[in-house]
Amino acid sequence: QDEIRIAEKLDNFGIPYIEGGWPSNPKDAQFFARMSKKRLSKSCLVAFGSTRRAGIPASKDRNLQELLASRANTAAIFGKTWLLHVKDVLKTTGHENLKMIEDSVRFLAQNGVEVLYDAEHFFDGYRRDPDYAMQTLLAAQQAGARFLTLCDTNGGALPSDVARIIREIKP
């Protein structure tokens, strides 16, 4: 109930996006179920999740199904940008990761969900392989992501590095 009151206050304040959590979490799923019966006047409720798993079609991925089931009109999904994490954490290839990003964004967008794409570990990934990091952003953008968020996931990027990289990638 506290989360609902907070969301309502943020809506009254005019916050454009309110992240309600990860619908895979039972507590967050309850929040989304309760919020589906309420109407926000100024804000969009956002469900948080990740791209599909490797080797699983987007339409069969449990996380993406739960994002849709949340009834949130907007989803923020994160995907890997740093090849180190693609290989060591996801245990997949760079090509499959790009497909995971593209398929996930497209699946949600085709189901009427506005997609905010979080490029996880963007600055670390960009420093190691700028071309691949940019490919991840393009995959999300071309699949229909409305916003691309460049994440300094570990908080280790120096402000000067962030500024330099933003200047390099800015069209």
Mean residue pLDDT across the chain: 96
pLDDT tier at 32, thresholds 50, 70, 90: very high
Q: H/E element holding 155?
A: none
The pLDDT value recorded for residue 171 is 76
Query: Residue 162 pLDDT > 80, yes or no?
Result: yes
pLDDT tier at 73, thresholds 50, 70, 90: very high
The pLDDT value recorded for residue 1 is 86
pLDDT tier at 79, thresholds 50, 70, 90: very high
Q: H/E element holding 81?
A: none
Query: Residue 104 pLDDT > 90, yes or no?
Result: yes
Q: Largest Cα–Cα distance of the chain, in whole Å?
A: 46
User: Based on the number of CB atoms within 10 Å of its own CB, is 17 exposed (0-12), middle (13-18) or buried (19 or more)?
Assistant: middle
